[in-house]
Structure 1
């Protein structure tokens, strides 16, 4: 497995951006049916960056066992959003980054080979991508995700009110917008193509547990299938380290291993 630390200029953001990429070295044995590598875009949390998964988990070892490339971008505290007062990070993540990654590495562009996951803020970002672009992602996973962002704006677990306003605008602009995962679930319900697989987990001692229960209830009400795992755990790496292994085992990875 090769760990590649990469800096490049983003035209979308008008700044230099960092990513870490894990690329299987024995690609002739680990490529998918398309002749290129399946890929997991793995997203960081609010107070972290593109180094977080490498520093705090054994994602390199787990990904090597599965023969999958892992791309870890850095987006600051943007909530993976085209910010109200700030930079267009969601456009970067959804449009520019995949093009750059496929130009630099032998990454498949097939929907069947493309997955996204993240923890905390990254769980929100992962579900946002999967719900927004069901034609691009075969699976999306959220670990302790901040999924009910409208409730947070309204005061539930909102420890950053001014920052969220800078990102999303006020709550009237957020609710029912493409930044509202509940609105995106409504849209997905009407989508007639193949829907992504979804995986969700959150520890019962996590401060975002109620967010996750609200998201799960809406998914059940809409008939959107979500693989869900419950159990004890807090908002920390003691919980996320084993759960990322569960995610990799759950992903529908097609390889020649």
Structure 2
């Protein structure tokens, strides 16, 4: 009897698994945008959800990679993001932010204009190419490490473009790291270009926010080398009465941590999109 029940259970699981595999329909595409500001073509990965139709309009989550990465990092590192696109019915866009752009429009190098590309040229290209909610209420942005800095940096400076923003293990204060990750190639050395660093570090951009102007979620592992600066940003946001989610959990600067983070942040952005839709 027990063996028969066990076999029936296994058979049912096989059927269910088959049905799930048949209905999993997130589509991974590659979108090329010609950046006028940098005069070059740049590729992004775009994930459209199951049942995507031009008859509907979808919110978009922009998902940024870290230092030394590219547009394929997220889909390779956390392929489950396709499931989140299906489950929450949003489009996911993973831009190429170059090896070490830090998502700046560099004040010292005119060939690095990644704020303009991600926040404007790419957003316009995505809205022209897909059926999106083409307003800040339908856009969110997050990322890991360099991309965590980039997401908050772009959202704080472009609140007319994004309605929600997040960071995972983000370099949200670059000043303690003057010799790391090519930042000096984008801003000049800290010793000779202190003003560039002060004006372009996320923690110093909090003054641009007003309570409720942007939905914000931040998380960082307690073993991460960026843990201290994330705690500092949390305190700065509290000081200015800026509502935000701040999460810490065990973990370091790893894909295992980010796999967990994006699951929670996807829920956060889904709630944002749904709340806006209901208003």
TM-score category of the 2 structures, normalised to the smaller one: 0.7 to 0.9
Alignment match, 2:11: none
Alignment match, 1:233: 251
Q: CA contact under 8 A between 1:150 and 1:180: conserved in structure 2?
A: yes
Alignment match, 1:244: 262
Q: CA contact under 8 A between 2:119 and 2:161: conserved in structure 1?
A: no
Alignment match, 2:232: 214
Q: CA contact under 8 A between 2:45 and 2:71: conserved in structure 1?
A: yes
1:188 aligns with 2:209: yes
1:7–1:137 distance in 2 versus 1, CA, 3 Å = closer
Q: CA contact under 8 A between 2:97 and 2:114: conserved in structure 1?
A: yes
Query: Larger relative contact order (C-alpha < 8 A, sep ≥ 6)?
Result: 1
Alignment match, 2:115: 90
Aligned-residue offset at 1:248: 0.9
1:72 aligns with 2:90: no
1:164 aligns with 2:183: yes
Aligned-residue offset at 1:175: 3.9
1:101 aligns with 2:126: yes
Tell me, in whole angstroms, the C-alpha distance in 1 between the residues paired with 2:28 and 2:86.
11
Alignment match, 1:138: 163
Of the three residues 102, 122, 125, the one matched with 2:147 is 122
1:140–1:68 distance in 2 versus 1, CA, 3 Å = same
Give per-residue Cα distances to partners, 1:199-255, cap 9 Å, x unaligned. 000001111111211211211111112201111101011101011010011111237
Q: CA contact under 8 A between 1:135 and 1:195: conserved in structure 2?
A: no
Aligned-residue offset at 1:136: 2.4
Q: TM-score, normalised by structure 2?
A: 0.81
Q: CA contact under 8 A between 2:33 and 2:121: conserved in structure 1?
A: no
1:55 aligns with 2:73: no
Aligned-residue offset at 1:187: 2.1
Which sections of structure 2, spanning at least 5 residues, go unmatched?
1-25
Could you say which structure has the larger radius of gyration? 2
User: How many pairs does the alignment contain?
Assistant: 242
Divergent runs of 4+, >6 A: none
Tell me, in whole angstroms, the C-alpha distance in 2 between the residues paired with 1:21 and 1:219.
32
Give per-residue Cα distances to partners, 1:166-195, cap 9 Å, x unaligned. 201233122442x22123101224x8xx51
Of the three residues 64, 68, 71, the one matched with 1:43 is 64
Which sections of structure 1, spanning at least 5 residues, go unmatched?
none
Give per-residue Cα distances to partners, 1:27-63, cap 9 Å, x unaligned. 35x98xxx41100010000021100110011111112
Aligned-residue offset at 1:25: 4.3
Aligned-residue offset at 1:164: 1.7
Tell me, in whole angstroms, the C-alpha distance in 2 between the residues paired with 1:21 and 1:7.
10
What SS does the aligned partner of 1:202 have?
strand
